């Protein structure tokens, strides 16, 4: 609540600024607002989504130029230019995104350099856009009959938009799709195992960032009433990126912080400092460059996290503001009858550059049974999990689930069918609370998209997802830990959180990779009880585990692998007496 009061007070203070400050301050603040919009987009795209774009200024440019052209050549009113400009940018961002976002990491960044430069040169070359001279005499904007040509009047329009957009992004980040975005940096395997379509999510944030940049361009055109190519070049894109880096992560307010500091500092450095030194020293680029390196070295979370650390007022991780009071309202899948075949693996093999990782494995899992997959390190157990979940494609053989062939499908598609997993090396998102991490698992059980999330029109569904997450956390016995960061939990508990996350997707089949590692004896017993009750509910469970006592007391069937080969299969008792198993595996242990 106090946070809300604080935010309201800040907004009130902001809106009082035009009554207090000089014209130049207000003009400067208008520039800050425009930069904040772009930086907010980059907060979403870069700070959270982990994608670096060197092309944001080009999107600002497309927005500004489209507006300028329509407002001058066709004398269109501002409302209409906004709609058309957004449509143009949307199409363009989608196109650029569709081409570049299939590329990974740094290739994407290189591609955005090309896009940014290409657009910049095009602005200067097209006669329609006034060539290098640009377009002037853009009529001022009028809202409800009030002309907003004066900086003070424009301030209110602009900052209303900026604040609205910041709230929208904040809302988005605490929604179903927002959690997906926040998980992006934690690696593709985990994210797609949650059923999240990485490509679609990347496109969505790329387009969202481009739209924010475009709105900034629209405002720019009406504020400046003059556009030329210079403000939209590669250097400008780099400066926007610097704003995002300097501002940092932790809250969307960081974008405002970064933009404010860069714009204000630039004004001081280009104008005040040379006056004091009495010379024309180009110092602002130097200062920004040094500042960015220093921040990345000393405070990778940017000034926002630095300020928070220094201030120490606000807690490190926000407590979930949408309390999981929703209860378990999400619809559940119909259970499979116990004994129905879920997973069927037939003659599956996998080679890496000639090296055989898995050789001709055939096994099946039915609803309501626990199958343990055991074998020494390097036996190919995790590789088999990766094949089942679509992370790897089998070199030979087929995997089918409930009668549908799954090998060849994308991991997120396979998750949709009802397979859920945990990881040998825990993959939780450190910047999200435990509750939010578990809620990632419910991704496929909701449908609200980015727009609904920005407007918080999906409150009921989101509450249901968080409620489900809370219920799963309670079920695995971690209630009370919802608001903690997973990094604050012991490793054993982190594995349990992964199980809760996997259960949150309401799967038919659960793949657990060493769930008991790092657990104390009592915790192991609790885990075994949990798995038994899941089995009783009709879930199929595949378990990779080294703790033989745990496995043998729990599993209905055991599959033993060694050097990629399946060397035995049967009840725990059968396997324990198998000669080859004893020689290859248990024998060594004994």
Partner 1 sequence: MDFGIFTFLLQDGLNSAAIYCLMAIAIILVFTTTRVLFVAQGDFLVLGALTLSQLQLGRVPGTVWILAGLALLAFAMEGAQALRERSRRRALRAVLFCLLVPALVGGGVAWFSGKELGLAIDILATIALVGPIGPLLYRIAFQPLADKSILVLMVVATAVHFVIISLSLIFFGAEGWRTPALTDAQFALGPVLISGQVIAIIVTSLLLIVVLFLFFSNSVYGKSLIATASNRVGARLMGISTAQSGMLSFAMASAIGCVSGILIGSITTIYYDTGLVLTLKGLIAAVFGGLASFPAAAAGAVILGLIESYSAFFASAYKEIILFSLLIPLLMWRFVLAGHQDLEEEA
Partner 2 sequence: MEFRKKMGHVLAAALSVSVMATAAAAEIRIGVLLSTTGPNASIGIPYNNMLTVVPDTFGGESFRLIHLNDASDPSTSVRNARKVINEDKVDIIIGGSSSPAALAIAEVAEETQTPFLALSAVNQQVKGMDWVFVVPHAVDTMLTPVVNDMKAEGVTRVGYIGYSDAWGDIVLGAFQAITEGTGISVVAEERFARADTSVAGQVLKLVAARPDAVLVGASGVAAALPNVTLVERGFKGPIFHTHATIIPEFLRVGGAKVEGAIAPSGPFVVGEQLPEDHPLKATAAAAAALYEAAFGAGSKNAFAGYSYDAFVLAATAAVKAAETAEPGTGAYRAAVRAAIENSGDEVIGATAIYAMTPEDHTGVDERSVVLVQVTDGAFKLKP
Interface contacts to partner 1, rule CB under 8 A: 46, 50-52, 99-100, 102-107, 109-111, 113-115, 117-118, 121-122, 125, 187-189, 192, 234, 238, 241-242, 245, 281-286, 288-293, 296-297, 300, 391-392, 411
Q: Which does 109 bind (CB under 5 to 8 A by kind): partner 1, partner 2, none?
A: partner 1
Structural contact between residues 265 and 284, judged by C-beta atoms closer than 8 angstroms: yes
Does 128 bind partner 2 (CB under 8 A)? Our answer is: no
The packing angle between helices 284-298 and 234-247, to 10°, is 40
Q: Which residue number, 26 or 519, has a Cβ lying nearer to partner 2? A: 26
- 278-297 footprint of partner 2 as x/- string (CB under 8 A): xxx-x-xx------------
How many binding residues for partner 2 (CB under 8 A)? 34
Q: How far is the CB of 166 from partner 1 (least distance, A)?
A: 23
* Interface with partner 2 (CB under 8 A), residue from 96, 151, 342, 497: 151
Q: How far is the CB of 121 from partner 2 (least distance, A)?
A: 8
CB atoms within 10 A of CB 60: 34
Q: Which residue number, 80 or 293, has a Cβ lying nearer to partner 1? A: 293
Q: Which residue number, 112 or 171, has a Cβ lying nearer to partner 1? A: 112
Q: Give the residue from 470, 478, 471 showing the smallest Cα distance to 495.
A: 478
Q: How far is the CB of 198 from partner 1 (least distance, A)?
A: 8
- CA 461 centroid distance within chain: 19
Q: How far is the CB of 273 from partner 1 (least distance, A)?
A: 13
Does 147 bind partner 2 (CB under 8 A)? Our answer is: no
- 17-46 footprint of partner 2 as x/- string (CB under 8 A): -----xxx--xx--x---------------
Cβ burial of 146 (10 Å; 0-12, 13-18, 19+) is exposed
- CA 353 centroid distance within chain: 32
Cβ burial of 17 (10 Å; 0-12, 13-18, 19+) is middle
Does 104 bind partner 2 (CB under 8 A)? Our answer is: no
The packing angle between helices 234-247 and 105-125, to 10°, is 140
Q: Which residue number, 285 or 316, has a Cβ lying nearer to partner 1? A: 285
Q: How far is the CB of 32 from partner 2 (least distance, A)?
A: 12
Instruction: Could you list the beta-strand ranges (E) of 292-369.
Output: 341-352, 355-366
Q: Which residues contact residue 485 at a Cβ distance below 8 angstroms, ignoring those fewer than 6 apart?
A: 316, 317, 430, 431, 432, 433, 434
Q: How far is the CB of 559 from partner 1 (least distance, A)?
A: 24
Q: Which does 225 bind (CB under 5 to 8 A by kind): partner 1, partner 2, none?
A: partner 2
Q: What is the DSSP string of 88-144?
A: HHHHHHHHHHHHHTTS-HHHHHHHHHHHHHHHHHHHHH-GGGTTTT-B--PPPPEET
CB atoms within 10 A of CB 285: 13
CB atoms within 10 A of CB 376: 15
Separation CA 73–CA 559 (nearest Å): 74
Q: Which residue number, 2 or 22, has a Cβ lying nearer to partner 2? A: 22
Does 222 bind partner 2 (CB under 8 A)? Our answer is: no
Footprint on this chain of partner 2 (rule: CB under 8 A):
22-24, 27-28, 31, 124-125, 131-134, 136-137, 149, 151, 220, 224-226, 228, 230-231, 270-271, 274-275, 277-280, 282, 284-285
């Amino acid at each position: 609540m106090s946070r809300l009061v604080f935010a309201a007070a800040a907004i009130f203070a902001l809106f009082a600024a035009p009554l207090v400050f000089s014209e130049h301050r207000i003009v400067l603040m208008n520039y800050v607002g425009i930069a904040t919009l772009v930086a907010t987009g980059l907060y979403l795209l870069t700070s959270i989504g982990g994608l670096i774009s060197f092309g944001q200024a080009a999107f600002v440019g497309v927005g500004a130029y489209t507006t300028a052209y329509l407002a001058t050549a066709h004398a269109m009113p501002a409302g209409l230019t906004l709609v058309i400009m957004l449509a143009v940018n949307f199409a363009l961002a989608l196109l650029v995104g569709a081409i570049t976002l299939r590329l990974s990491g740094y290739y994407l960044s290189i591609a955005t350099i090309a896009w940014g430069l290409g657009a910049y040169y095009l602005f200067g070359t097209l006669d329609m856009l006034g060539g290098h001279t640009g377009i002037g005499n853009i009529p001022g904007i009028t809202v409800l009959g009030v002309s907003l040509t004066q900086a003070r009047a424009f301030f209110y329009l602009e900052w209303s938009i900026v604040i609205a957009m910041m709230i929208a992004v904040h809302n988005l980040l605490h929604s179903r799709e927002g959690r997906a975005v926040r998980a992006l940096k934690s690696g593709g395997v985990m994210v797609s195992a949650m059923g999240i379509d990485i490509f679609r999510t990347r496109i969505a944030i790329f387009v969202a960032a481009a739209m924010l940049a475009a709105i900034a361009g629209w405002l720019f055109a009406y504020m400046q009433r003059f556009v030329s190519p210079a403000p939209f070049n590669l250097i400008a894109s780099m400066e926007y990126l610097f704003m995002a880096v300097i501002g940092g992560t932790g809250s969307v307010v960081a974008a405002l912080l970064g933009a404010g500091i860069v714009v204000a500092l630039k004004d001081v450095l280009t104008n005040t400092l040379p006056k004091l030194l009495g010379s024309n020293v180009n110092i602002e680029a130097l200062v920004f460059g040094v500042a960015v390196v220093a921040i990345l070295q000393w405070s990778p979370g940017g000034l926002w996290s630095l300020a928070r650390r220094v201030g120490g007022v606000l807690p490190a991780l926000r407590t979930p503001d949408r309390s999981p009071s929703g209860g378990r309202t999400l619809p559940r899948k119909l259970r499979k009858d116990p004994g129905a075949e879920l997973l069927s693996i037939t003659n599956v093999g996998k080679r890496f550059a000639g090296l055989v990782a898995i050789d001709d494995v055939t096994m099946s899992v039915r609803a309501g049974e626990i199958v343990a997959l055991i074998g020494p390190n390097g036996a190919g157990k995790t590789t088999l999990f990766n094949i089942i979940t679509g992370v790897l494609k089998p070199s030979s053989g087929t995997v089918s689930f409930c009668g549908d062939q799954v090998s060849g499908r994308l991991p997120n598609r396979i998750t949709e069918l009802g397979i859920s997993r945990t990881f040998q090396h825990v993959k939780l998102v450190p910047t999200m609370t435990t509750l939010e991490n578990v809620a990632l698992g419910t991704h496929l059980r909701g449908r609200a998209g980015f727009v609904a999330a920005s407007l918080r029109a999906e409150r009921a569904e989101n509450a249901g997802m968080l409620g489900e997450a809370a219920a799963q956390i309670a079920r695995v016995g971690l209630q009370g830990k919802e608001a903690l960061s997973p990094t604050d939990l012991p490793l054993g508990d982190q594995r349990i959180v992964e199980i809760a996350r996997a259960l949150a997707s309401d799967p038919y089949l659960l793949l657990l990779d060493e769930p008991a590692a790092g657990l104390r004896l009592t915790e192991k017993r609790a885990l075994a009880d949990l798995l038994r009750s899941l089995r009783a509910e009709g879930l199929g469970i595949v378990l990779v585990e080294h703790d033989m006592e745990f496995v043998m007391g729990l599993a209905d069937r055991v599959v033993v692998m060694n050097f990629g080969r399946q060397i035995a299969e049967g009840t725990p008792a059968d396997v324990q007496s198998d000669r080859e198993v004893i020689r290859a595996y248990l024998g060594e242990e004994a």
